């Protein structure tokens, strides 16, 4: 099961899900100047980051919007980035947040689990209803693919809908329970389902309730750092020091900007940021 593989990588290499959400202006100017097209620049930058960090991260997440914004060259870089990560033997999440029904969802599943844009995991949006998940289920049954469904996101606007109540529960709790129940048949030897959840790390009390309710659900955890989530919240969302990966994108990709003249060593500074993040989370788990 692909989620079992991710669980094992967390145990061996830590919690970092490195977001390759690469915008052209993240790339140091001197490095970018070596490549004639935006697609080549994106791919070359990503390859350097992956080469520097593949042994210390749990997985990578590639947000498709950064590549779509660069047109066909960007999508070629997206395709080739996914391939490069998978060739390294590291799980990769296509952050596409798809949420549709019937034949449309089936085509999305085909697009992101086979062919040019094949990934190991995708992100899904079930807020249109749990039937949006159905066309993806045959891929989970194979054991080779998985997904993370949006449950409680880390953006301020989450409270507009996700925090409203339904039959005495918050909407995100209802959605989380539905994701847990849909994924129950895909639980592997790690105790976690191939259908995970996106759960932001911005409140310790909420984190404790969600972890208790969704005991078979592996978490993809955004909100660390810039959005207010810290290592204490991360520790609460985990169970026995596992059960989730923590996404960080800009803080790692742009780590070189903290160091005067750091542009030439951007990959080394990315590695340093990832190592530091892992250590901070491990300390919080140790003392939680």
Active site (catalytic) residues: 97
Q: Please say whether the dihedral angle defined by the alpha carbons of residues 7, 62, 163 and 223, taken in this order, is positive or negative.
A: positive
Q: Which residues have a Cβ under 8 Å from the Cβ of 45 and sit 6 or more positions away?
A: 22, 26, 27, 31, 32, 266
Angle CA 269–148–163, to nearest 5: 100
Helix and strand totals (H; E) in the chain: 13, 10
* Strand-pair partners of 196: 148
| Separation between Cα atoms, residue 208 and residue 36, nearest integer Å | 49
Cα 176-181-183 angle, rounded to 5 deg: 95
What CA–CA distance (Å, rounded) separates 22 from 66? 6
SS3 state at 204: helix
Residue burial 187-198, b: 16+ Cβ < 10 Å; e: rest: bbebbbbbbbbb
Return the structure tokens found at 156. Answer: 């301020």
Task: Work out whether strand 59-63 and strand 169-170 pair parallel, antiparallel, or are unpaired.
Answer: unpaired
| DSSP code, position 262 | G
- 8 Å CB contact between 82 and 94: yes
| Residue showing tokens 């140091």 | 28
């Amino acid at each position: 099961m692909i989620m079992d593989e991710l669980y094992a990588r967390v145990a061996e290499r830590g919690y970092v899900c490195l977001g390759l959400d690469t915008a052209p202006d993240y790339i140091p100017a001197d490095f970018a100047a070596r490549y004639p097209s935006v697609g080549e620049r994106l791919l070359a930058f990503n390859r350097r980051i992956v080469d520097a960090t593949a042994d210390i991260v749990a997985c990578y997440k590639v947000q498709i919007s950064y590549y779509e914004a660069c047109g066909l060259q960007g999508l070629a870089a997206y395709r080739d980035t996914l391939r490069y990560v998978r060739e390294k033997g590291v799980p990769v999440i296509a952050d596409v947040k798809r949420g549709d029904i019937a034949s449309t969802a089936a085509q999305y599943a085909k697009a992101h689990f086979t062919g040019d844009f094949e990934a190991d995991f995708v992100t899904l949006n079930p807020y249109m209803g749990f039937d949006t998940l159905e066309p993806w289920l045959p891929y989970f049954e194979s054991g080779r693919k998985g997904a993370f469904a949006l449950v409680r996101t880390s953006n301020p606007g989450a409270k507009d809908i996700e925090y409203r109540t339904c039959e005495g529960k918050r909407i995100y709790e209802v959605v989380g329970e539905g994701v847990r129940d849909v994924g129950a048949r895909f639980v592997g030897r790690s105790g976690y389902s191939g259908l995970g959840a996106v759960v932001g790390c911005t409140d310790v009390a909420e984190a404790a309730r969600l972890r208790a309710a969704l005991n078979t659900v592996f978490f993809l955890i955004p909100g660390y750092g810039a959005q207010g989530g810290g290592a204490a919240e991360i520790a609460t969302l985990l169970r026995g020091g596992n059960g989730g990966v923590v996404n960080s994108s800009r803080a790692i990709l742009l780590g070189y900007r903290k160091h005067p003249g750091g542009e030439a060593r951007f990959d080394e500074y990315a590695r340093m940021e990832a190592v530091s993040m892992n250590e901070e989370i491990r300390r919080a788990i140790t003392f939680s």
